[in-house]
Amino acid sequence: MSITSGNSASVVGAAKPNTPGVKAEDNRGIKDMAAQAKQAQNTAILRANEQVSLRSNNDSLSLLYKTALEGINAELEPVMGENAAQKIYDSGIDTSPEATADRIVAFATGFYSRYKELNPGKSEEETLDSFMKIIGGGIEKGFNDAKDILKGLKVYEGEVESGVDKTYGLVMQGLNSFREKMLELATIPTQPDNSAKV
């Protein structure tokens, strides 16, 4: 049996059942290779989307967001290991300063509980200060890199510049709010879980 797709590629024997001599273990390698191929294809699609988005002057804040995330990843790598976060870039995302700042803050602060687990024995304030210094450095690097790229593209002026500045201010406000919230939660005594009682 032969199946032909629109690009003239054919698949022979697609309807054949597994032969009894093939063991399940033999299929694992094929499944792993298929999963790797699928992941490589998805990565290529995301990179292509990213390139299209970066060519558009309208998506300057998308570039800012992506660059800020890369900066955060670079700063977290020594503490939390390579690829601390899975970076997914979607060109259809809201690129307003508010939405971009929200994503940057959520992304960066999302690592706090894991950071805290990896750094026991400190007070909440010491842990927070250390964490905020790390992610703050990543965010600063990300914003500076994004500004340099935008300046190189000669689009860092007017609305783009004010959008970047507004986004940065909102990120700083979001980080301060996160810090205050974590310190506030640390002062609340934990209640024992009574749900297990019968």
Q: Cα–chain-centroid distance for residue 73?
A: 8
Check if the beta carbon of residue 63 is closer than 8 Å to that of residue 54. yes
pLDDT at 115 over 80: yes
Domain boundaries defined on the chain: 26-55, 57-187
DSSP helix/strand/coil, 175 = helix
What is the pLDDT, as a whole number, of residue 155? 79
Confidence of residue 56 (pLDDT cuts 50, 70, 90): very low
Q: Which backbone phi and psi does 44 adopt, to 5 degrees? A: -65, -40
- Over residues 141-152, the mean pLDDT reads 87
Model-level pTM greater than 0.95? no
What is the pLDDT, as a whole number, of residue 35? 59
pLDDT in tens, 11-51: 444 444 444 444 545 555 565 665 566 566 655 555 554 45
Averaged pLDDT of the chain: 72
Confidence of residue 183 (pLDDT cuts 50, 70, 90): very high
